[in-house]
Amino acid sequence: MSETTNEDIDENKYEITEENMNENNYKYNINKDRFDENENSYEYLADNEGDFSKYLLDRMKQLEHRNSRLNEQYNQIESEKRYVENQKLKYEREVRKLQAEIDRLKSSPLIIGTVMDVLDNGKLMVRSSTGPQFMVSMSKYLEDEEIEPGTTVALNQQTFAVVDVVQSTEEPMVSAMEVIESQQVDYDQIGGLDEQIKEIIESVEYPLTKPESFARIGISAPKGILLAGPPGTGKTLLAKAVAHRTDASFIRVVGSELVQKYIGEGAKLVREVFEMARKKAPSIVFIDELDAIAAKRLNDTNGADREVQRTLMQLLAEMDGFDERGDVRIIAATNRSDVLDPAILRPGRFDRVITVPMPDVESRENILQIHTRNMAVSDNIDFKKLANLTEGASGADLSAIAMEAGMLAVRNDKGSVETDDFLKAVDKVMNSGNESIEIQPEGMFG
């Protein structure tokens, strides 16, 4: 602030010099013989007091004005300072974040593995996603309770020590099997499959919950249950619900993943799935897309077919060596029961086939009601008529319709889901992929 401001220039005119006093029209009387070098002014004489007080008042006003201007400037600079300090903190944070990101990118990748066993000496047996099994130690920053057979973990590339736990996801992206300790699905969340539920209770639930009854009567429960039916009809739901009822661990593997994603590993994975099932018993092994590993054998077998066959042989071997009265149950699902190798359906293997059909009109109504149970739905929705409009829809489609109708209501900020939301949702889901056919609400709903 070394520049001369207007204020400074103005201020000069108040210095008590002859020139200034003249210019400001003050009457003055000064002793021209007494010039004070320090004050840069002549001594003034007492008879000019009136004018001089006026001059002082002006001068005071001027200084007050200047003072308030300087105060304003001070406040402004203070707030600029605070802003700059904030900016500095923000950029420092940003730098730290980028530094951490650089460190992360520079660090070597971790290997994904699955814990096979927790040993008494505190070490772990893990199978890395690249194949081999290792006995390793784990980071002391991990809680013991987090680690158990089946947990997906991240391994250090050099030492293979367990450094992190990978949270399991609904669809297994990093592990071949999905292990869920306790299921939340119950039979009342399954619409229109009463007969199938009854069968599954008899063939899977009772052998797990009342094994003594089977022993007393001297019969053995079916070893494997095959749920056959079109996609999205509730096969997985049935398996999950029975796992919930029996408090069994639910171990899910997907046939196509066994042979496509883990090439060369299929047979070994099957062995490990059953190993895990025994360890976690009571448990239910659910093999989805069984047809991917158990289709009829073709004559000319290429490498991929041989891989599928090895996987299937291992599955059959596991089933054959299985105790029927044990507390591990196997449920498989397929959309293509017509292509299955008959060997898989022989007694002692998947010898009980439960057909899961597409829902009829009554079931569709039931399923829609189940999926809207926890939604705020307007009172006048006619589910029967909605069921009539959804001929050919699977349970998964009906669930999508309920979800879509809910989304529409949210999008339009409504208090509850109304008939027109359902109609639009039906239209969208039923015609997805086709040209949209407008469904007229008139006459459909009263």
Instruction: Please enumerate, by residue number, every residue annotated as part of a binding site for ATP.
Output: 232-237, 371
Secondary structure letter of residue 204 according to DSSP: I
Q: Does 236 bind ligand ATP (CB under 6 A)?
A: yes
Q: Does 282 bind ligand ATP (CB under 6 A)?
A: no
Does an H or E element contain 405, and which? helix 395-411
Q: How far is the CB of 397 from ligand ATP (least distance, A)?
A: 8
Closest by CA to 324, choosing from 425, 221, 174, is: 221
Secondary structure letter of residue 203 according to DSSP: I
Structure-derived torsion over alpha carbons of residues 189, 152, 292, 397, reported in degrees to the nearest 10? 30
Q: Does 249 bind ligand ATP (CB under 6 A)?
A: no
Whose CB is nearest to ligand ATP?
395
Half-sphere exposure of 158 (CA within 13 A, CB side): 2
Q: Does 399 bind ligand ATP (CB under 6 A)?
A: yes
Segment interacting with ligand ATP (CB under 6 A) among 28-36, 162-170, 392-400, 436-444: 392-400
Contacts with ligand ATP, 184-203, as mask; x by CB under 6 A: ------xxxx----------
Q: How far is the CB of 156 from ligand ATP (least distance, A)?
A: 36
Asked if 213 and 219 touch (Cβ cutoff 8 Å), the reply is no
Contacts with ligand ATP, 286-315, as mask; x by CB under 6 A: --x---------------------------
Q: Does 150 bind ligand ATP (CB under 6 A)?
A: no
Q: Does 344 bind ligand ATP (CB under 6 A)?
A: no
Residues in the chain: 446
Q: How far is the CB of 253 from ligand ATP (least distance, A)?
A: 13
Cis peptide bond prior to 359, omega within 30° of 0: no
Q: Which of residues 349-378 bind ligand ATP (CB under 6 A)?
A: 367, 370
Cβ nearer to ligand ATP, comparing 246 with 363: 363
> Which distant-in-sequence residues (6+ apart) come within 8 Å of 201 by Cβ?
242, 245
Alpha carbon separation from 402 to 98, 387, 432, 446 (Å, rounded): 43, 12, 15, 20
Cβ nearer to ligand ATP, comparing 225 with 333: 333
The CA-to-CA distance between both ends of the chain, in Å, stands at 81
Chain residues that interact with ligand ATP, rule: CB under 6 A: 190-193, 231-237, 288, 333, 335, 367, 370, 395-396, 399
